[in-house]
Structure 1
Amino acid sequence: MGELYALLAALSWTTAAYGFRHLGGTLTPLQLNLWKGILACLGLAAFIAVSGQWISLPSAVWLPLLLSGLIGITLGDTLLFSALNRIGERTTLTIAESAAPLFTIGLGMLWLGEFLTLWQWLGAALILPALFWVLEPGNPAHRSHPLLGLSFALGAALCQALGMVLMRQVFLAVDMPASQGALLRLLAGIAALPVLLSLRRQSWLPRLTLRQWMILALSTLVGTLLAIWFQQLAVKRAEAGVVQTLIATCAIMAFAIDRLRGNKASSKAWLGLVVAFTGVALIALS
């Protein structure tokens, strides 16, 4: 079941990425990160109040839980949005979603002692190169500050990996509801953002039109609230490396959305799609 939740998280993030990218010219990465976090926390808090899914946590898990939000959301998402603004969706997703599984698998082995099976290794080995074939990233030289954007994308991947491994450590220690884990991780992730906004002299309250607020709310519902909830459900049930590898298929899903929007693709990209789905099947069925 963890593999299915990871794929649902990838689908949620892919769908919302286009909305977040649309707001990239209006909101700074810090503003976007703050407000998507606030809106998602409100939604999760309302769900928890209705469902009553809340438990007391031992003191030993608070540090990795808070660090997961601080590293994975505060730093990771800010770097990701910064990369999106500089090198676009395709190049950002190719770099970040290819590197993050490798970082996560390595950290999972070193930190948690989680080793993938032979079939899972084979699935990952098929998915990661397929990302490059499917997305066919454009020349970053035609983007603004390409080297900085590439650095931001790699930094985001490392932060995703650290956040994933830390949350896996928490769920191995305590059987916490996924909604509670998602809310606490988000709260930790956005707590430092007002301070960072003040230091950079950026306004906390952005000037958005009603339509832009609606785009932000809808993108947050799909890409933050649902995505992080599915992610927590996945991390509870599967190894961190497996979850991050399957979440990397958001790049494959972006390819499919581009096709639905009428954009053409090369035969190499279609081959990459087939190879990636083969890799997903090997991981899911192992």
Structure 2
Amino acid sequence: MPLHELAALAAAFCWAITGMLSKDSADALGPFGFNRLREGMVTAMLAVIVVATGRWHGVGYDDFSRLALSGIIGIFIGDTMLYVALVRMGPRRSGALFSLNAPIAALLGWVVLGEDLSIRALAGVFLTTCGVAMAVLGRTGRAGGHRFEAVHGPIWAAVGFGLVAATGQAAGSLIARPVMATGFDPYVASLIRVGVAVTCITALMALPIPAIQQRGRITARLLGMTALSGFIAMVVGMTLLMFALQGGYVGIVSTLSALSPILILPAIWAVTGERPSAVSWLGALLRCWGWG
């Protein structure tokens, strides 16, 4: 498998495990408070890497504006809505919904960029949607009593947040692709995207709206878990995705980076000690086969 495709697959593995790492912290701090803390820590990590390795050589206005817009849509909106879905329906279901970013990217390419969408691609969108529906709505298996499988509030609302998250990720990748195709440094690109996103989150949370405020107090354990989650998902995972976009096709990269629904099932099995249901496995396989 080519290097750029391997990078996309590695990014999927990073995102599969960080959903579980993030669950307790997102519950404790709320999705907005957790995302602000995590993206702030990730920005600091990336800044240290970029400065220490001398990667910053100046960025043109066009490249910066594209990456900033990608960060607003893909991270500020996309990631925040992902954590809202994570709090409401757990890492397995929210991860399955988030993986819809691959077919959504194809549909956006068709609508916005005028790219061809074959009958095979349309069939893939249909099969992917069916697979995600099975993964989200199907039986949870023996792990159903674990907190990772609990659903809080109406399932349709959680599904809506997950769809917004997937759409944000897809749109963010499409916007960043022309910049990354020129060989733009992936660490600098990640720094710009995350830095802009955390600035937007901080500005939003300054508004006197109770629903978007941080819920709990930041403890040493929450700080450590959030830092680990941010490092694996954003410093490693997102940078791998930016690298993959340098030389890989958006559709292939999106497909491989969206394999998290399959990768997360054995991880949940290991953590909970209970086997996911056959419906969960079938839904995950169908989702990936439909867009494979």
The change in CA–CA distance for 1:68 and 1:22 in structure 2 (over 3 A counts) is same
Q: What is residue 97 of structure 1 aligned with on the other side? A: 99
Q: More deviation in 60-69 or 108-117?
A: 108-117
Matches of 2:187 and 2:126, distance apart in 1: 32
How well do the aligned residues superpose, as a CA RMSD in angstroms? 3.2
Q: What is residue 264 of structure 1 aligned with on the other side? A: 275
Q: More deviation in 182-191 or 254-263?
A: 254-263
Aligned counterpart for 1:242 among listed residues 239, 245, 252: 252
Which consecutive unaligned segments of at least 5 residues does structure 1 have? none
Matches of 1:208 and 1:225, distance apart in 2: 21
Q: What is residue 3 of structure 1 aligned with on the other side? A: 5
Q: What is residue 145 of structure 2 aligned with on the other side? A: none
Q: What is residue 164 of structure 1 aligned with on the other side? A: 173
Matches of 2:274 and 2:136, distance apart in 1: 12
Give how far 1:66 is off. Answer: 1.0
CA deviations 1:180-239 (Å, max 9, x no partner) are 111111111111111111112566796222112111111111122111111111111212
The change in CA–CA distance for 1:128 and 1:163 in structure 2 (over 3 A counts) is same
Residue 90 of structure 1 contacts residue 138 of structure 1 at CA under 8 Å; is this kept in 2? no
The change in CA–CA distance for 1:124 and 1:247 in structure 2 (over 3 A counts) is farther
Identity in percent:
25
* TM-score normalised by length of structure 1: 0.83
Code of the residue aligned with 2:204 in structure 1: it is L
Residue 120 of structure 1 contacts residue 242 of structure 1 at CA under 8 Å; is this kept in 2? no
Code of the residue aligned with 1:186 in structure 2: it is V
The change in CA–CA distance for 1:274 and 1:138 in structure 2 (over 3 A counts) is closer
Residue 265 of structure 2 contacts residue 281 of structure 2 at CA under 8 Å; is this kept in 1? no
Give how far 1:127 is off. Answer: 6.4
Residue 131 of structure 2 contacts residue 284 of structure 2 at CA under 8 Å; is this kept in 1? yes
CA deviations 1:127-181 (Å, max 9, x no partner) are 6655555666459995313222111111111111111100112223x32111111
Give how far 1:270 is off. Answer: 4.6
Which consecutive unaligned segments of at least 5 residues does structure 2 have? 141-148
Q: What is residue 27 of structure 1 aligned with on the other side? A: 29
* TM-score normalised by length of structure 2: 0.82
Give how far 1:105 is off. Answer: 1.1
Q: What is residue 20 of structure 2 aligned with on the other side? A: 18
CA deviations 1:229-280 (Å, max 9, x no partner) are 1111111121222222222211111112123232213445555666677778
Matches of 1:250 and 1:23, distance apart in 2: 20
Q: More deviation in 139-148 or 10-19?
A: 139-148
